[in-house]
Structure 1
Amino acid sequence: MGQAGTLVIAITGTMTSGKAAVKYFLVDKGFKYIRHTDPILQEGLKRKLDMKDRQNWIDVLVDMRKKSGLEVLSQLATKQITEGERYVICPIRHPADIKYLKKKYDALVIFIDSQFDTRYTRTFLKELGGGMTKAEFKQKDDNENNPSGADKKYLPNIAACRDLSDIVIDNDASLNDLNKNLTKFLEKRQITDIVDTGTFDDFEI
Structure 2
Amino acid sequence: MKKIIANGVVAVLLASSAGAAMAVSDEEMERQRQIHQQRIADEKKSYVQNSIREVEDAAREGVEQIETIIRLHESLTDGLQFTDEDKFRIYRIGAEEGHGAYQVKLAEHYLAGKGVEKNVEKAKEWLEKAEQTWLSSRLSVEPLYTLAKTYLDDARLEREDRGAYYIYQACLQAHPEACYRTGLILEGEDTRQPFAPEGVPNGGPRN
User: Which protein has the larger Cα radius of gyration, Structure 1 or Structure 2?
Assistant: 2
TM range (shorter): under 0.3
Per the normalisation by structure 2, the TM-score is 0.23
Per the normalisation by structure 1, the TM-score is 0.23
Bigger share in helix: 2
